[in-house]
Structure formats: C-alpha cells, structure tokens
Structure 1
Amino acid sequence: MATRITPLRLEAFEQLPKHARRCVYWEVDPDIVGSGDSLSDPEFEKEAWLSMVMLEWGSCGQLVVECRDTSDDEPPAFSDDDPCLGYVFYAPPRSVPRAVRFPTGPVSADAVLLTTLGIEAGQNSDELSHALIGAVVADLVRRGVRALEAFGRTDRVGELAHRDSVPPDCRPVTDALGDCSVEQCVLDSDLLLDAGFVVVSHHSYFPRLRLELEQGLGWKAGVEAALERLLESAQLQQPVGAGAGCV
C-alpha cells in the first residue's frame, strides 16, 4: 500500500476521519457551553478553530494518506479524495483552551503543544504514530521552534471511572464535550515516552512531557527508521495535490 504524509490544508477537512472532524476536546472550553453538554455543530467549531490557527500561526496538522494504485509503470497517484489513515494536531498553547485545565500545566513558553493523534483501525499504529510525530518535528524544526510538549494519560486513568469521586485537579480534564473522552483525545504517555519525550511535570494520571528540538532532525533514530520504511522518498512538506509521488 502506498502512503505519504502531508500537512493538513483546510480544503482537506472532509478528508479527516469522522471523530477528528467532530472532536473539540482541546479546541472548546467546556465552561463556555456547560460541562457535559453537546455542541450543535462540532464540525463547524473544529473547522473554525483550524482556520483560525492556520491563519494566525500556520500549519497545525499532518495526515497520513493512502494513494491510489496505478499501473506498474506509473508512480502512485494521490488526490484530495485519498483515504486518511492517521492524523495529528499541534498548536501554540495559547490557541488551545483545554491546555490551561490540566494539573501539570502550563505548557512552557518556548514550546508548541501536541494535542491529538489518531490512527485508523487496521493500520500499523506504532509506525504511523512515530512517522506523524516525526513529520511534526520536521515542521517545527524548520520553523525554529525549540520544543514540543504534550499532556499524557497514564495507564492509571482507568481508575478514575471506578472511584467514588474524581480528584479535584482531574475534573477539569475529564469534563468532555459530545463524543470526546480522555481515553480517546489525550495522548498515551507510553507512546510519547517511546517517541523520545521526557516527563517534566509528574502526575499520577496526566503528566506533562517534553521533547527538545534543538538537535534538529537527528531527533531519534527509531523515528527516522520508521519514516524510511513507511515513506522512503516521500516529501513530507508538500501538500496533497502538489504533484509529488507517493511511496
């Protein structure tokens, strides 16, 4: 199967999987609409948020897309209709309302916040996840960003559902909108640790982790190997439809 990673463009919003289009866990503060309430049009809210961040800051997402098969003597083709196999979002913390609700905040002033990463069922989750994080790193290094941070969830998060009461410092995190949930919308701490992040603010449930980008694209040998296996000669920075081939 031919795949490639490409920066998300607003024109490709409909290309995102359903949950990615409707998830506003990070983008909308529950206090504004009422905890546990649902938005009348979460897709509109998500698209509006993406538009705002792209206009004010620039690229804030990466996609793994599957390219269409062609004949043996032609390179794989791709278009804006190609299936999305995975996605990742990131943005300055000032643009992410949920960031201030985590007990291990705030995000460092020199860092961009990695918010959500999703891989479609049936795909190689580890390889695609590391490749997407690698694409984020490549983008941010090129833009001169010093660090990438993320709030993680530990394997103890499941305990919260069985407790008589959620700890006060966790309630702002577990408040969700629509079909969002901590388990689906907050990154797994183990995934982040495997990708080279280190814990900079400890917490039983929601630590904050950081990846220094000063080393540039020599970031992590394992990620480079995953990118090579998955994409080979893919041009990570070229948008869908710009004419580069897939691998």
Structure 2
Amino acid sequence: MSRKVTRLTLDHLDELTAPCRSCVFWQLDPVRRERVRDTHGAYADEVDAWVSLVLREWGSCGRVVLVDGVAKGFALYAPEAFLPGAASFATAPVSADAVLLTQVYVAPDARHGGLGRMLVQGMARDLVERGIKAVEAFGDTRGDPGWDSHQAPRDHPRGSRCVASVDFLGSVGFKTHRPHARNPRMRMDLRSSLRWRDEVEAALEKLIGVVRPAPKPSPERRSGELPG
C-alpha cells in the first residue's frame, strides 16, 4: 500500500466525498453564507473559488493524502485574512506571525493509520520552506467531530464542528496558546517542531547503528588466515 502527501488541487477536491468538502464556515462571513445556503451545490462552488483565490494570491493552501492513488484526506490552511470565519472564535485573532490551519479530514476507512499526522507534517514542511514561523488552529474540546452529519454548517463553530479536536492537535505537536473551555487557540512553532523531530530521527539512527550486530566474517576468511 502506497501513501503519499501532495499539494491540494481543485482536481483533488472533486475526488473528496467528505462532509466538510462543502463546508464554508471558514471561507465566508455569516452574511455571505446566508446568501448562498439555499442554492444547490453553491457551498462546494464557493470552496473551489476560495482555493483558486488563495492559490493565486498567496500560494499552496492545502495538502491531500493519497492511498494507492486515491484521495483519503486533506488539510486546509491560509493566513487569517483569507478566513473570515475565524472571527467567530472567542480566542481570535491568530498571531501575526502564524498561518491558520482550518480543516483536517481523513476518511473513516483510513483512520488510525497516521494519515492525519502525515498531513500536518506535509503542511509544516511547506510552510517552513516559505519562511513561515508558526501555524495556529482553533481546537475543539469535545473530541473527534465524527463527521457524521451532511447538513450545511451553521454560523457558529458549535454547530459546524469544522474544527479539529484538541486531542488530535496535541498529538501532532500543537500546544495551547490561548486557553478556552470550548475552543482554545493552539500553536505549533514550526522550526522548533521540525528540528526536534529531525534530531529524534537522527538519534534513533545512531542507536540502531550501535545495537545492530556486526557482520559475520565470510567463510573464506577464518581467523588467522590471509586471502590469496
């Protein structure tokens, strides 16, 4: 089974069947959401238009994870200026030096295999390469949203569940930056997080080298004998 994280494109969006595929809680302000909510397919069109806008004006704004070539999850992120829905949170605004991670979704049949962590790591590497220092996210203390509702999201994050759980964010390196009973704002300092992981991986490689048994001498070279 092959697993790969790559840049999110509009083609990938068309392949995703996630309930949050048509969620515009982050991308539209409450007034505009009300204007388009009764139009069939309008939410998905708005998401496509938003992705196109951000790609054009800021650059890559998402990652998608492919399992055997099939899209099984995605993550969206952008500067807060592109995400008017963020103003709904009591712990807003996002820090001036940070990008905002909004949605992280993995299909139910592909969960518990590390794909969510792969998406966050792919996002982190993208942002570090672009000189961005940190990423923040509004967490949800109610746990995994479940993604069991296909209804259009409401204006308030309590109704939308378009928010990653605090437990998930904590498991992939985020720390609470501004506490809140329902939606704390969490933060990952990208350079320190990636450097820490790289150091751990290097230490493990050294440890494996120490405990790996030495290769056995070939039968032709018994002790005390010279080749020839």
Question: TM-score band (shorter)?
Answer: 0.7 to 0.9
SS in 2 for 1:210: strand
CA drift at 1:149: 0.1
Q: 1:32 to 1:124 in 2, by over 3 A?
A: closer
Q: Quote the residue 1:76 is aligned against.
A: none
Is the 8 Å Cα contact of residues 157 and 205 (structure 1) preserved in structure 2? no
Say whether residues 1:105 and 2:89 are aligned partners: no
CA drift at 1:21: 3.1
Letter in 1 for 2:55: M
RMSD across aligned positions (CA): 2.8
Structure 1 Cα separation of the partners of residues 201 and 27 of structure 2: 30
Long gaps (5+) in structure 1: 68-81, 159-170, 176-180, 226-247
Q: Quote the residue 2:104 is aligned against.
A: 117
CA drift at 1:213: 1.4
Q: Quote the residue 1:174 is aligned against.
A: 158
Is the 8 Å Cα contact of residues 64 and 128 (structure 1) preserved in structure 2? yes
**TM-score, structure 1 as length reference:** 0.70
Q: Quote the residue 1:43 is aligned against.
A: 44
Which has the bigger relative contact order, CA under 8 A and spacing at least 6?
1
Identity over aligned pairs, percent: 37
SS in 2 for 1:153: coil
Is the 8 Å Cα contact of residues 143 and 165 (structure 2) preserved in structure 1? no
Letter in 2 for 1:218: R
How many residue pairs get aligned? The number is: 192
SS in 2 for 1:122: helix
Letter in 2 for 1:17: T
Q: Quote the residue 2:175 is aligned against.
A: 198
Q: Quote the residue 1:9 is aligned against.
A: 9
* Higher Cα Rg, which structure: 2
Letter in 1 for 2:195: G
Q: 1:53 to 1:217 in 2, by over 3 A?
A: same
SS in 2 for 1:44: helix
**TM-score, structure 2 as length reference:** 0.75
Say whether residues 1:60 and 2:61 are aligned partners: yes
Pick from 114, 120, 124: which aligns with 1:137?
124
Q: 1:127 to 1:224 in 2, by over 3 A?
A: farther
Is the 8 Å Cα contact of residues 178 and 185 (structure 2) preserved in structure 1? yes
Q: Quote the residue 1:92 is aligned against.
A: 79
CA drift at 1:11: 3.5
Q: Quote the residue 1:151 is aligned against.
A: 138
Long gaps (5+) in structure 2: 146-154, 203-228
Q: 1:14 to 1:197 in 2, by over 3 A?
A: same
Q: 1:37 to 1:114 in 2, by over 3 A?
A: same
Structure 1 Cα separation of the partners of residues 144 and 9 of structure 2: 33
Q: Quote the residue 2:218 is aligned against.
A: none
CA drift at 1:124: 3.2
Is the 8 Å Cα contact of residues 113 and 149 (structure 1) preserved in structure 2? yes
Q: 1:130 to 1:156 in 2, by over 3 A?
A: closer
Deviations 1:119-177 (A, max 9, x none): 1012133511111100000000000001000000002899xxxxxxxxxxxx84335xx
Structure 1 Cα separation of the partners of residues 37 and 11 of structure 2: 29
Structure 2 Cα separation of the partners of residues 15 and 156 of structure 1: 27
Is the 8 Å Cα contact of residues 64 and 132 (structure 1) preserved in structure 2? yes
Alignment of 1:227-242 (within 5 A): none
SS in 1 for 2:157: helix
